[in-house]
Amino acid sequence: MVADTVKHYPVLLNELISIITPQHGGTFIDCTFGQGGYTKKILSFENTKVIAIDRDFKTKKIADKIIKNYQGRFLFKNKRFSQLNDFKIKNENIRGIVFDLGFSYNQIKDTEKGLSFNSAGDLNMQMGLNNFSAKDVINKLDAKELEKIFKFFGEEKEAKKIALKIIQKRKIKKIDTKGLVELIEKTKRKKNFKTHSATKVFQALRIFVNKEISELINGLVAATKILEKDGVLAVVTFHSIEDKIVKYFFKSLSENKSVSRYFPKIDQPEPLLKLIEKKPKTPTKKELEENPPSRSAKLRYAIKKSDFYNFKTDIFEKFNNLIEIENLDYKL
């Protein structure tokens, strides 16, 4: 069971609102609806409309409550944000698109999802609309493949050793959440008392199971196409891999040299995006005190300065090594 009474804190909410300025009205897309924190705040301003999406089917219950209060101004879709291209958005002035790549307290404490080290039972980590679980990954992929996932998605220094231990243990019995945590704790030589020993491996598995790298890249590209000129694209990240992707995407498309080709043979008169601030916004001391999990959050944003739709970016080539690791899912 998941506690419904736990207060949810939308991370960097004040900073986000100051960037996307819903007080001027318009339509906004909340690509990671979650508990609806950003959506409800945007809808509190008159003349606004929100199109929200989330891959977690459990969020629909929250969305249904908002629909009752904001009929005609709120639309919810149970989709992955990489599917933004599937949306036939017409006659909408999309002034802002928001991504919050974190997870709510409810999702972390949801024992069915198994995102926490304290979860019991089978490994899952599926956020919704998935094809396989963490249980499949741990019990089916070979040592080299597991090592790649832990090393590149979790930045785990002892990835090889942990992978080999998993192969040894699963010959005896299938590994569940508790068994994986115990294995990692026994395997790691150095203990970091600031973070749990299993943090990096669990992060890596979650990224792989939910294909978070390709989801994010495809989501950013799709959002940039849908966004109107002078609209804002804002992304809140929670770990270094996400932040590197967002930072590179924004930086590359804010420089003329980044875009190599347009369709059909169109020269771009100016950079597609404009960066007002190069450094990300981070939580204030007050927010950190109220919501400690926000400590790793970084908010980056860019403004679309051109009407170009069919642009080309080298973001896929830049992070191809990570995408290739995600594509190991063909074995599951």
pLDDT computed for residue 127 by the predictor: 94
Give the distance between the most distant pair of CA atoms in the chain.
Answer: 63
pLDDT score of 24 more than 60: yes
**Per-residue pLDDT tens for 277-324?**
999 999 999 999 999 989 999 999 999 998 888 888 999 999 999 999
CB 28 within 8 A of CB 94: yes
pLDDT computed for residue 99 by the predictor: 98
pLDDT computed for residue 85 by the predictor: 82
The pTM for the full model equals 0.92
The reply to whether 123-210 shares the fold of 13-100+213-307 is no
Confidence of residue 266 (pLDDT cuts 50, 70, 90): very low
Helix, strand, or coil here: 330? helix
**Per-residue pLDDT tens for 63-86?**
999 999 998 999 999 999 999 988
Domain at 13-100+213-307: CATH code:
3.40.50.150
Dist CA 208 CA 322 (whole Å): 10
Domain boundaries, the chain: 13-100+213-307, 123-210
Dist CA 219 CA 212 (whole Å): 10
Mean pLDDT in residue range 166-183: 94
**Per-residue pLDDT tens for 118-163?**
777 789 999 999 999 999 999 999 999 999 999 999 999 999 999 9
pLDDT score of 258 more than 70: no
**Per-residue pLDDT tens for 205-233?**
999 999 999 999 999 999 999 999 999 99
CATH superfamily of 123-210: Putative methyltransferase TM0872, insert domain (1.10.150.170)
The contacts of residue 5 (CB under 8 Å, 6+ apart) are none
Classify each residue of 11-50 as buried b or exposed e, where b means 16 or more C-beta atoms within 10 Å of its C-beta. Answer: bbeebbbebbebeeebbbbbbbbbbbbbbbbbbeeeebbb
